[in-house]
Structure 1
């Protein structure tokens, strides 16, 4: 069954296409996903009170009508933007026929080779390479000629990396301990910074004792005495083996992983650059992985029309299922989405009508609820699968896709980034895209052109059919290419983000932006001078450069009628710019991904005067810069520096701003958490500059409440520890100390009672799980399982313990028999809790400040990773706190700079 896409896949993101008939320029801001789709990430912690200069309000209330006004032509391959996670180039028309998909979207199940049932395509068609071009027909083309699409810069996958601060406890050695002994340890635990700290130490001591005993027995058996140092090593090893024994019994995976040697890193950045223009000499791969065929629904699951069940053939049922899956989402409430879906579904129904003769002509009479409920039940079943079942399913899928995940590039094994072909589905689009809801047809081998080395074995597709063409173009880095039917964009399969070719592209991009430092003063001097130029074209170009440089606006490009009405600097219309005396300009337009750009900024008096002149005598729908095109602007910039485009300014301004913010805001003697907060603040300033915004996540308030509860829980623990401290202090002087005198705030009696009940419930649940595991182990070993009375006794002890703890908290007096601990240790525990509370508060402020800002886009595409590496080394911050494993793999070339490196 085709995969369920709850949100718009990144493959749906339309890119700026070549000029349509009306000649409207496409903004580099593009068209794309809803506000929240950009960062799903993780890296959304934050910390400043500064209001955002750009509001995230979209234009969902009032869709912009399509306009037939003619626009200037501008063909600019440099206007694409790296933060779009698709590598797509526009074709000549908005919708291109796909020979392999004209029949239907389905294929018979028996016809697919090497399929992985239930496998869902989640990888995106992504690239940021700037040297790609679509297939060209050569003598070696095996399966026909491929039409040559226009040359286009590729785009980079955007991901949201999260801010994290892991405090997970170490796994405990699983061994039996007398229940009463464990409960006693818990009763003595008030003097520790964590409720689990004492049991951990107790268990570790037991494990150590067992390991020592085992080593002594082995020495006695062998009759030899090992050196002292060797004994310590043996003890540590025995302890480690004992603690990992349960996992080793279940599966031997960890041992296998430890013995496997990591792949040797190919340090391409230490090699000499290839000046020939060829990207590779030999290239072998296994093509792309097609999704599994559609599997019809059970006979009892049918959609309804006018209250009656409809017997749909598989081809029509599949398309109906696409809509049923998103029935409870905002897409199903969108009028344009529904109209486009029903229009395309009608075409499928015309070819594959219902078997019972039902005529489906009115969308309002369609009821997809039975199908939706079936899909939800199947999703719940999958979610309820055991860990072992999920692992087996994952391994089965991995095995089916394994050969497609890598390729041989110049004899080196490299990962392929997006080898899965997206399954058919409904196009989501971004923002107010006019084609949202249209049917994306199933891609077949006849639609795909393969690029491979001459003489290499041509891969066989895992479904019936032959490739559209096979070419051998060494000047490009894509492995496969096809045209999607909705927007006519070319889709490419590239190597993974951490590959040598993608790394070279990233490094060239950031080096080019860094080189701009040497020319930027001269460029600014020139365009400032031309702000008063008598030639109107030069004056408009200078004003546009002022906005691109000072406000980090995207350049903009031609836009077709069938694309979302988004604009950039060169495609601004008079309605987008408002003048406010004495020198303020208010920008209000839909930028890339249909995200609203709203900014009220002071400008130079001459710029203010120029905008008034440019707007004079024009209508709201007229171009502000009617004598400037993106291509002309970029051609002018080439006079200053080779390869300089308007987009380079955006990367330069983002990185230089980031470097300056880090230099100014990083506390030299601050904690790691305080330095991380400063880093996120700098990243946030860049995101605001570049208008990288998102809508507030729906779960934001829930996550904030969890963080507040976490802080209150730490305060509760501090209260108990402080209470124990006063109990063991014979002098009573500690009560008068300022740091201990006052009670913790935010802790009322009702909350503490609820918290104590939650703690008790967790302890009982933990005891029940342990009891079940002990009995499972006993059955495996052939022993008799423990009776239920043992569990009841343990639960009774837990309840008694919590009852005593509550009474102690309420009376302020501890029961006799509590263990003692040196006062210094207890004070240290209080201070540790103080530090944890401080860190949690910083994280909470950080999260709140970044709820409307997407930090991941800047970090991936606009911030030179060497800035982060050097900053981490200079301030002793683990880079893993800032770069996920994916980014560490993506930027290996940036990891070797020293702490003195500067952008």
Structure 2
């Protein structure tokens, strides 16, 4: 669609039905009222609908469908990821994560005839993790399987599905949003009037304006503390007034001043409202450039790729490309992918041709033209042996190698930005390799070429020393772009995209970017009622362009669809709302819509939703003949036009902001109504439940991870292990005092899921685990002795230490034979045993919470919601309000990234 369409009212350029104008539109410019009336009559309004909530895994009713469930041409590109090739498999049993990553039930089998567990049982006595799903069919499924009630969040204490309950909750939240928007505007209007009358800005006692704490000009009390009355001050300590200062304090401050010269004072940029408002990002910038990957080291002469059984010799450039494929033979979902194979082989043969081709060991030319005849196994074996050798290095040597690497990279890890030391993020230039991509990317398997200094542009201060390029090379260009936040950039050869060296996530600049994103979402609170009121009105507009735009905004707001951008012919066939095509939407009367397309990163987006009747009718109009597969649904709308329209409500409003606003506002409302008690583990589960509700309400989904079942089985084994410990402790109580059996026979019996076969496996595991611990400790002590100049302990010492594990094996064997467990420890008593049981019960309870949490969230992208869309300050509020360590929600990396959020708000802050 040309940009000129923005200025021409489509109402004035109607077109006849079934024709196409010069701009390529197949939709009528004007929608006659007769069309609306006819469709209203054909599809009467739906009662008890639940628009705004995904029903993807809900019941599928048989009804009239306007097209095939597998949508047209695009369906062939949306196969499930996995092994797609029929060729040879290079995967070995030991190639993956090793036995330690296998669940207990899969790695310690000692006998057959395992006791069966009824997977359909809903008994409370059956642990959640013991209900193992049936084996999955190897065939590719076109539609996601139904999830269990736990997976999609069905309420256990109500007959109403969570989808219906959340639809009502979403409607309530949106009504609250409308009231809040009106209240905010009214408050600002009254505040503006008072300011004009008094020349001052009033403080609101109802709402804090932002997470940034501003200081009044005549005192040191934060405004947020004033507005909250008796609330505690925000995390920053209040400054002492002059009256409280003393000579001793002055002396202490002098010492601190001296220390400040050695240790840089923390820069709380979020408390500086003027920082980052302009377009210029820095005045002075110094850095050391980038780190290049090491040059290619040719393979030993005896390690060669074979073609049709014959070893091949080739130039180092071609050998390196062959090595890319050979090194990853254990990644079967890549190397067995036909697209990956084809793209790799095309690039590989091209490099061969450019470098003189391949020869056998006698120097005879060999034309490599069939991928199926290539054997990369010798290359894989070589690199796999190198990996194993590196992994087996002593800890001291690994530590030394890491220290040497860190020392070499130290100058590149930090830069001086306006005189402040800032951590640099990705200062390493990507090494050459094979492009993998995500989902079904059409360029997967292509060769990512080695980046040379001549391709890299450096951005640095004009007064700073330009870092020297490697010997014999030069930089492409030196820039002094003060409006840019990048330090270096280059263009990669796969998609022609530019790669940038930026500051680390915990730097001031990155933090300010996140802060501004969430502040934009907070700003939308003032305007959301106007936006929704307008698009609801325009859903019935006679002008096709307006109706398409309103429908797109509805889908973006209600279902978190991305706006989407136009793609080139050589780019992945990914789409968003504005670029949806005829085959991407299936309509199921009376008001269900099925989306099926490749979304961001070539990940399949499949969702079944219920929409309001007017939107359903609009989509049906947008799909009217002569449109067919390949035609755009919103052919009178582009992403640029949509965002230009949205910016009319507020500066910076784009389709992206709706996802952030909806997630944060929903979480804020759920948090506001929370009154939690219980342990920290229970509160974490409650937080994750709220996060899950946000993800469901905002349609943040993910495909169930391939390793989910394995992880659940491992967790189940850990829980069973604790139950077995409980049983042993109870048996010890009987050994101490046989009269205690009066508690009842059931109290001392094994739990149902602990059969004898599993116990034998677990005992073997415990013995082996003990051996591994002893050996690891022995090796560590030896390394320390050598490092300090001493002599290593002899192997006999290790054998003596292993007697502990041997004794444990004998103990288990005796217990299995006699059925009795002797009391352990010094001075064992019934009271000590009971205390041990309490601790074990608590650990089991915590793990059951984890298991429930993990199972409930297997189809919900909690990480996406928490990191990208929910304002991190809301998580901080939860942490402080309910006294839960922030470490329970944010990893070390995320704590650094959201340092500004952690330090800038207290428990009373509101989104």
TM-score, with structure 1 as normaliser = 0.68
- What's the counterpart of residue 284 of structure 1? 286
Instruction: Report the secondary structure of 1:547's partner residue.
Output: helix
Indicate the residue corresponding to 1:305 in structure 2. 307
Q: Which residue of 1 aligns with 2:339?
A: 336
- Structure 2 CA distance for aligned equivalents of residues 444 and 272 of structure 1: 41
1:577 maps onto 2:585 in alignment: yes
Write the deviation string for residues 151-191 of structure 1: whole angstroms up to 9, x where unpaired: xxxxxxxxxxxxxxxxxxxxxxxxxxxxxxxxxxxxxxxxx
Partner of 2:212: none
1:424 aligns with 2:432: yes
Residue 345 in 1 paired to residue 352 in 2? no
Q: Is the 8 A contact 1:634 1:645 kept in 2?
A: yes
Residues 526-561 of structure 1 show CA distances to partners (whole Å, capped at 9, x for unaligned) of: 111111111111111111111110111101111111
| Partner in structure 2 of residue 658 of structure 1 | 667
> Using the alignment, how far apart are the partners of 2:342 and 2:753 within structure 1?
52
Asked if 2 retains the 8 angstrom alpha-carbon contact of 1:340 and 1:438, the reply is yes
Query: 1:322 corresponds to which residue?
Result: 324
Q: Which residue of 843, 849, 854 corresponds with 2:856?
A: 849
Contact 2:343 2:443 in 1 (8 A): yes
Residue 512 of structure 1 pairs with residue 520 of structure 2: yes
Change (3 A) 1:368 1:775: closer
SS at match of 2:740: coil
Change (3 A) 1:857 1:613: same
Report the equivalent of 1:626.
Answer: 635
Counterpart CA distance in 2 for 1:302 and 1:784 is 40
- Return the match for 1:591 from 599, 605, 617: 599
Contact map agreement 1:59 1:596 (CA 8 A) in 2: no
Give distance in 1, aligned partners of 2:308 and 2:645. Answer: 63
Cα–Cα, structure 1 residues 605 and 737, in superposed 2: closer, same or farther, change >3 Å?
same
1:833 paired to 2:846: no
Aligned to 1:518, what secondary structure does the other structure show? Answer: coil
Aligned match of 2:406: 398
User: Residues 193-212 of structure 1 correspond to what in structure 2 (within 5 A)?
Assistant: none
The answer as to whether partners of 2:732 and 2:823 remain within 8 angstroms in 1 is: no
Q: Matched residues in 2 for 1:818 and 1:377: separation?
A: 45
Question: Could you report, residue by residue, the CA deviation over 1:32-76 in whole angstroms, capped at 9, with x for unpaired residues?
Answer: xxxxxxxxxxxxxxxxxx986599xx999987679xxxxxxxxxx
| TM superposition shift of 1:389 | 1.9
Alignment of 1:641-652 (within 5 A): 641-652=650-661
Secondary structure of 2:314's match?
coil
- CA pair 902-359 structure 1, distance change in 2 beyond 3 A: same
CA apart distance, 1:342: 2.2
Please state how far the C-alpha of 1:402 moved relative to its aligned partner: 1.4
| Superposed counterparts of 1:78-89, under 5 Å | none
Equivalent pair of 1:552/1:689 in contact (CA under 8 Å): no
Indicate if the aligned counterparts of 1:54 and 1:691 stay in contact, CA closer than 8 A: no
Relative to structure 1, the CA distance from residue 766 to residue 556 in structure 2 (aligned partners, 3 Å threshold; closer, same or farther) is: closer
| CA spacing shift, 1:59–1:561, aligned 2, 3 Å | farther
Report if the CA contact (8 A) 1:406-1:413 is conserved: yes
Q: Which moved more, 1:503-512 or 1:423-432?
A: 423-432
- Give 1:475 shift: 0.9
Cα pair distance change 1:804/1:436, threshold 3 Å: closer
Output the CA distance in 2 between the equivalents of 1:819 and 1:326. Answer: 53
1:522 alignment partner in structure 2:
530
For 1:647-686, what aligned pairs fall within 5 Å after superposition?
A: 647-663=656-672, 668-686=676-694
Aligned residue number for residue 274 of structure 2: 273
8 A Cα contact 2:56 2:609, kept in partner:
no
Check the 8 A contact 1:667/1:674 in 2, yes or no.
Answer: no
Q: 2:351 & 2:823 partners in 1: Cα distance?
A: 80
Give distance in 2, aligned partners of 1:828 and 1:351: 74
Correspondence for 2:479: 471
Q: Deviations over 1:433-453 (max 9, x none)?
A: 222222222111111111111
Sort the Cα spacing of 1:394 and 1:768 in 2 relative to 1 into closer, same or farther, 3 A.
closer
Q: Distance in 2 between matches of 1:806 and 1:884?
A: 43
RMSD of aligned alpha carbons: 3.4
The 1:305–1:783 alpha-carbon spacing in structure 2 relative to 1, beyond 3 Å, is closer
Say whether 1:883 aligns with 2:890.
yes
SS of aligned partner of 1:589: strand
- Structure 1: give runs of 5+ residues left out of the alignment: 1-21, 26-49, 67-259
Matches of 2:502 and 2:782 in 1, distance apart? 51
Please report how far the alpha carbon of residue 407 of structure 1 lies from its aligned counterpart in structure 2 after TM superposition.
0.5
Residues 523 and 772 of structure 1: CA distance in aligned 2, closer, same or farther (over 3 Å): closer
Greater Cα shift, 404-413 or 805-814? 805-814
Tell me how far apart the structure 2 counterparts of residues 479 and 54 of structure 1 sit (CA, whole Å). Answer: 49
Deviations 1:586-621 (A, max 9, x none): 222221122222222221111111111111112132
Equivalence for 1:548: 556
Matched, 1:611 2:619: yes
Tell whether the 8 Å contact from 2:438 to 2:603 is kept in structure 1 after alignment. no
Q: 1:44-55, aligned counterparts within 5 Å?
A: none
Partner SS for 2:366: coil
Runs of 5+ unmatched residues, structure 2: 1-21, 26-53, 60-68, 78-260
Cα distance change of structure 1 residues 694 and 463 upon mapping to structure 2, 3 Å threshold: farther
Q: Is the 8 A contact 2:677 2:683 kept in 1?
A: no
Residue number in structure 1 paired with 2:295: 293
Q: Give CA-to-partner distance per residue, 1:67-106, whole Å, 9 cap, x none.
A: xxxxxxxxxxxxxxxxxxxxxxxxxxxxxxxxxxxxxxxx
TM-score normalised to structure 2 length? 0.67
Shift of residue 516, structure 1, vs aligned partner = 0.7
5 Å-filtered alignment, 1:685-724, equals: 685-688=693-696, 692-724=700-732
Q: 1:376 aligns with which of 384, 398, 401?
A: 384
2:871 counterpart (864, 877, 898): 864
Maintained 8 Å contact 2:394/2:783? no
Q: Which moved more, 1:598-607 or 1:549-558?
A: 598-607
Kindly tell me: are residues 768 and 378 of structure 1, through their superposed partners in 2, closer, same or farther at Cα, counting changes over 3 Å? closer
Asked whether the 8 Å contact 1:414–1:499 carries over to 2, the reply is yes
Pair 592,798 (structure 1): closer, same or farther in 2 beyond 3 Å:
closer
Determine helix, strand or coil for the equivalent of 1:559. Answer: coil
- Residue 692 of structure 1 deviates from its aligned partner by 4.7
- C-alpha distance in 2, partners of 1:784/1:512? 63
Contact 1:54 1:688 in 2 (8 A): no
